[in-house]
Structure 1
Amino acid sequence: MVRRMFRFETEVDKERRLLLRAALRDTNTASSPALRELRGTPAERETPLQVWAFDADGELAGGLDAHTWATWLHVNLLWVAGHHRGAGLGSRLLDRAEHMARDQHACTNSRVETWDFQAPGFYRQHGYEVVAVIPDYPPGIKEFTLTKRLS
């Protein structure tokens, strides 16, 4: 067996991260007929999707950060300022993102992760179903993964 020498680095570098993602995506695509079918379609590209809400004073009232890929909307972050909660702003942000994902990016499904003290009930009210629960992530907290069909 030939022992190869490697140099390891731990610095954060956006270009390297993108290179790593592209290399992994290429490897995955080569190994998966379903991913090969996405080649050349709009669903092949990971596309950022963001929705922002500002109040009458121009202050950030809430926002949603997500991306679309492979016919899925993946909600990364959804936040509403405390004094705007309960007025439906979170619902409006989520609804707008789902419509954009469906109408502009041909998404058919959505997914989100949330902790037990955050918003699993909110997402259930919007048609999401729990598909996974990870206990103690982080310690003492449950993480929920929820999905929804967007059709």
Structure 2
Amino acid sequence: MVSRMFRIETEVDKARRDLLHTRLREANTAASPVLRALRGTPGERELPLHVWVLDEADELAGGLVGHTWTTWLHVTYLWVDERWRGAGLGSRLLAEAEAVARDRRGCLNSRLETWDFQAPEFYKKQGYEVVCVIPDYPPGITEYTLTKRLG
């Protein structure tokens, strides 16, 4: 039996993170017929998608940051400045991101996560459905995962 020594590190290392991401993607692609079929296609790439709203002074009034991958839009952040909440900017940001994802990138679905104190009801009004609820994530807060068909 061969004895091996391992060293555990907890430092942030972007190069190792990127290497791990590459190796995980390779392993997932090898294991999944769907991901293998996507290899080398435009849908395989994760492409950033950003939408910004600027006020009359060119200050940030709101924004959406996400990405598209395969046939999915993933909304990571959506924020509207408190001064502009209730003016429909959140709906407009989301609709624009969905349109770009659907019409220019061929996305069929969208997904996002939100906490109970943020915007689950807002997203439901935009046609999203709750597919996962995680209580106490973080403690005392409930996280929701929601999805929507874009077609």
Letter in 2 for 1:14: K
1:13 shift after superposition: 2.4
Structure 2 counterpart of 1:57: 57
Show structure 2 runs of 5+ residues with no match. Answer: none
Alignment length (residue pairs): 151
Structure 2 counterpart of 1:22: 22
1:15 shift after superposition: 2.3
Show structure 1 runs of 5+ residues with no match. Answer: none
1:91 partnered with 2:104: no
Letter in 1 for 2:113: E
Q: Whole-Å Cα distance in 2 between the matches of residues 52 and 10 of structure 1? A: 35
Letter in 2 for 1:49: L
Q: Whole-Å Cα distance in 1 between the matches of residues 81 and 32 of structure 2? A: 42
Query: 1:113 aligns to what SS in structure 2?
Result: strand
1:3 shift after superposition: 2.7
Structure 2 counterpart of 1:138: 138
Query: 1:56 aligns to what SS in structure 2?
Result: coil
Q: Whole-Å Cα distance in 1 between the matches of residues 121 and 70 of structure 2? A: 26
Query: 1:37 aligns to what SS in structure 2?
Result: helix
The TM-score, its normalising length taken from structure 1, stands at: 0.96
Superposition RMSD on alpha carbons, in Å? Answer: 1.0
| Deviation string, structure 1 residues 40-74 (Cα, Å, up to 9, x no partner) | 21110011111111100111101111011121110
| Deviation string, structure 1 residues 89-120 (Cα, Å, up to 9, x no partner) | 00111011011111221111000000001000
Q: Whole-Å Cα distance in 1 between the matches of residues 17 and 103 of structure 2? A: 30
